[in-house]
Structure 1
Amino acid sequence: MASSVMTEAILIIASIVVATTIAGVVMSQVGSFESTFTATSQNQKNEMLTKIKVIHVLRNATDSPPNLEVWVKNIGIDPITAPTSMDIYFGPTGAAQRIPYNAAGGEDTWRFQTLPSMIQKMDTVQIRITDSQLTVGTTYTLRVAAPNGVYTDYVFST
């Protein structure tokens, strides 16, 4: 009888240890899920509060090579905190390609006229795209994408 009480006590202690271990694993997974959900919600909120718009494009033929002057306005609520991480896609309609950022400028690059540290709500920035292949009478497509993936498209003819 004493051995059955001892066996029962050992089994109860083992059950408590196993239950505690399982509860710990489940709770850590719930915490991991919660942090993932929070990060995803924050990213979605950021995307919903970001909105940009190309408000004007002008071919500057007085520069050599010709430049494309682009004015972009932040019409969203959130600021764009890493403006140099924006993506610019430009080219004839149906053949646009990514144009890399280069603060010094250069052929087939883009840069800010005045480099902002961030683009606040309602700020307008001027972007200069250098492309010696700008042709008068051609229809071009321009896409400006914020670092979080929110973008605006603009179609125009030179």
Structure 2
Amino acid sequence: MLTVAAIVAIVAVVNAVLPSVSRTSGALVSASGVVEDRIASQIDIVHATGANGSPDAKVWAKNIGASTIDPMERADVFFGPADDFQRIPQGTAGCTAPCWEYTYENSTTAWEPTSTVRITVHADANLTTGTTYYVKVVTPNGIADSKFFTV
């Protein structure tokens, strides 16, 4: 009788522990994929510029990582004077300021490794000479780079 009770207890423990181990394993695999994506992603803002009296700033960012960054529409762009920048919503060609749009410079359809994207920020005020501006690009998976530039 004691043997039967021991076997029943072992089966109960296995049935209780095995699903937890399975869930933990799935969570670790998922977290591993996210970490791998972040490690393989890296961007560099190569250049940023604008002209006095124009509301537009141009930003060139290069994918220097090992993975494709997609979808670009889910990236975040922050822009403005260094002491008063804001998140700028993504738009399409001809969007109402403030907004930003992008073009792949290497004729690709995604922001692939080694390719460059040109981001045009349409600010809600004209850029002015002598003002230092700040731009930050954050990819959908959280990788970011920023740059200060003066018009």
With the shorter chain as reference, the TM-score category is 0.7 to 0.9
How far apart are residue 94 of structure 1 and its match? 2.7
Give the distance between the partners of 1:42 and 1:69, measured in 2 at CA: 33
Superposed CA RMSD: 2.0
Query: Displacement, 1:112?
Result: 1.1
Report what 1:83 is aligned to: 72
Paired position in structure 1 for 2:149: 156
Higher RCO (CA-CA < 8 Å; seq separation 6+) = 2
Instruction: Please state how far the C-alpha of 1:61 moved relative to its aligned partner.
Output: 5.8
Matched, 1:72 2:72: no
CA distance in 2, matches of 1:98, 1:116: 26
Which segments of 5 or more consecutive residues in structure 1 lack a partner in the other structure?
1-7
What is the number of residues matched between the two proteins?
147
Cα distance between partner residues in 2 of 1:80 and 1:144: 12
Structure 2 residue aligned with 1:23: 14
Percent identity over paired residues: 28
Larger-Rg structure: 1
Which structure 2 segments of 5+ residues have no match?
none
Cα shift readout 1:93-119 (whole Å, capped 9, x = no counterpart): 132211110114221100114596421
State how far apart, in whole Å, the 2-side matches of 1:116 and 1:130 are.
23
Provide the residue aligned with 1:93 in structure 2. Answer: 82
Deviations along 1:34-91, one digit per CA (max 9) or x if unpaired, are 11111111111111110111111121568xx621111111011011021111000111
What is the match of residue 43 of structure 2? 52
Contact 1:82 1:117 in 2 (8 A): no
- So what's the TM-score if we normalise by structure 2? 0.87
